[in-house]
Amino acid sequence: MNKIMIIEDDPVTRDELTLLLENEGFQVKAVTAFTDVARQVGASAPQLVLLDLGLPGKDGFTLCMEIRRISQVPILILTSRDSALDELQALNLGGDDYIAKPYSIPLLLAHINALLRRSLGAQEPDVLEGNELSVHLSRGTASAGDTSVELTRNELRILVHLMRHPGEIVSRANLIDALWDEHIYIDDNTLSVNMTRLRGKLALLGLPEYIRTRRGLGYQCEKKF
């Protein structure tokens, strides 16, 4: 039975969502104490999080980042904020989908089931290894030997995409398209900034040449994994 965690401070909406999802056969955990919410998510280990943006204490944007640092659980933003800027920010900070209130119940259920199918069907290993580097996907960290660094979501996705194409030259356009498929908005300049930061972190691990630039072509992890 899939567990869904609801992070919503309005008790009426929270109770309505709980009843709806339980009637659909889901196990539901609703947050009622809005302190250490990210820790609660980690402890509960749900398969999906429904997250409101307007919350007491830390807002939903901050919580989205905190949850993403410790887990790759799908996050569906469910909020009364309906501006394109809010949606873009939420997706950039780690959200996987965005629905504005008031919502259609069939549409909400369709989005929930689509996220669960995509997440549970991936079955990807949590640790990706290549040469001296290990990348822990759910923790968002990279390590070599006894040294570990934290990666942002963009840095993690860039590194993972390159590691999954060992020996291949991956163009900048290909990287941008891959990140967009992961609901991360990124342009050419943002890619350059993230690549510079990623290489700096790899250098801290003693792997400054892990990602090569092939001028005019793209990027390459040369050795096979």
Running DSSP on this structure, what letter comes out for residue 168? P
Structure-token match 């510079």, residue found = 196
The answer to whether residues 30 and 8 touch, using CB atoms and an 8 Å cutoff, is yes
pTM, whole model, 2 decimals?
A: 0.56
Beta-carbon contacts of 47 under 8 Å, excluding residues fewer than 6 positions away, are 2, 3, 4, 73, 74, 116, 119, 120
Give Cα 155 distance to the centre of its chain: 11
Predicted confidence pLDDT, tens digits, the chain (225 residues): 689 999 999 999 999 999 999 999 999 999 999 989 999 998 888 999 999 999 998 899 999 999 998 888 999 999 998 888 999 999 999 999 999 998 899 999 999 998 988 876 555 567 888 878 999 988 889 999 999 999 988 899 899 889 888 888 999 988 887 776 555 667 788 889 999 999 999 999 999 999 999 988 999 986 544
- Residue 99's H or E segment, with its range, is strand 97-100
CA distances (Å), origin 151, targets 11, 15, 126, 181:
36, 36, 15, 19
Mean pLDDT of the chain: 88
Residue 77 and residue 62: Cα distance in Å, rounded?
12
33: CB partners within 8 A, 6+ apart: 40
